[in-house]
Homo-oligomer: A and B are copies of this chain.
């Protein structure tokens, strides 16, 4: 849980926006997004993990988030495949979950219905900031590989782990941090929420799916499952949920999170340019999606940044003037 402050408030605001956002998106598209408010079960095997639970319970209480101790019998009923070695379980009621794959598909459908043009797999070679760019007239020209340049009045940069590598923009200190995950199928539990220990998490996905995540690795832009990564996820699974040994291992994947030096996203305008930045969300991209959308829309329509956005402006990392050699002087951490 983040420390009290504007970033925690952004996270809580965004979490609270999700249910209404899903309802609105469903009304617009006729498509549903799996949403679950059961919370997270934080489990402890060892004494030091129990101590961690105490810290989390205190932190939750300090910011008014609900947490409750779960009795062993209730836990076994909810999660019959869990290890008998789990000594203590804390339920965090404020941790909700959405199916991120469904959410992206439904968002795309809603955007299309609203007249947005979507282009997939576009390889941007360079962003050109045009003379006189700003509130009036064309502001940017986007050069793409194998296609005609495109011009736009405004640009919202929401390019995730690749955000530090867009030639022609200021060098944003966003680096990729790999996360590997796997999906199991055939898991029949009463518990529909998340389960987490210090070593990983398991989150329900659809009728019988269970997603196991996630590694945190500095591996550059190499988004691939690896021998050691999947082995570590399976070790977590077998330690925490030994009843799943014979369960079907369905899918493996790896993704890249956009990380920043201070762990906070970059939300806001590049001073003097028609470019808004919405990246660097690290592990909070889904959580912060509705708040980020609202915040960027707010700022693009001329309002001041909200109080929650304090400290998230990209200018904290940018030495103005912002002209720079395309791509030079910045090495992705690997």
Contacts and interface: CB of A to CB of B under 8 A. Distances in A.
Contacts of A230: 230, 234, 249
A203 B224 CA distance: 21
Contacts of A252: 249, 252
A296 B248 CA distance: 37
A237 B216 CA distance: 21
Contact of A245 (B226, B237, B238): B226
A224 to B, nearest CB: 4
Contacts of A225: 248-249
Contact of A234 (B231, B244, B247, B248): B231
Contact of A244 (B184, B227, B246): B227
A181 to B, nearest CB: 12
Interface in A249-304: 249, 252
Chain copies in complex: 2
B224 A248 contact: yes
Contacts of A226: 245-249
A235 interface: yes
A225 B252 CA distance: 12
A114 interface: no
A219 interface: yes
A29 to B, nearest CB: 34
Contacts of A238: 227-228, 231
Nearest to A180: B249
A50 to B, nearest CB: 26
A238 B219 CA distance: 19
B248 A228 contact: no
A184 B231 CA distance: 13
Contacts of A219: 246
A105 to B, nearest CB: 25
A48 to B, nearest CB: 25
Interface centre among A234, A245, A247, A248 (most CB of B within 10 A): A234
Interface string A206-228: 00000000000001000011111
Nearest to A186: B224
A228 B241 CA distance: 11
A263 B235 CA distance: 34
A14 B219 CA distance: 46
B234 A246 contact: no
B231 A235 contact: yes
Contacts of A246: 219, 226-228
A229 B238 CA distance: 11
29 contacts: A184-B227, A219-B246, A224-B248, A224-B249, A225-B248, A225-B249, A226-B246, A226-B247, A226-B248, A226-B249, A227-B234, A227-B238, A227-B244, A227-B245, A227-B246, A227-B247, A227-B249, A228-B238, A228-B245, A228-B246, A230-B230, A230-B234, A230-B249, A231-B231, A231-B234, A231-B238, A234-B234, A249-B252, A252-B252
Given A225-B249, A227-B234, A227-B246, 5 more contacts: A227-B238, A228-B238, A228-B246, A230-B234, A230-B249
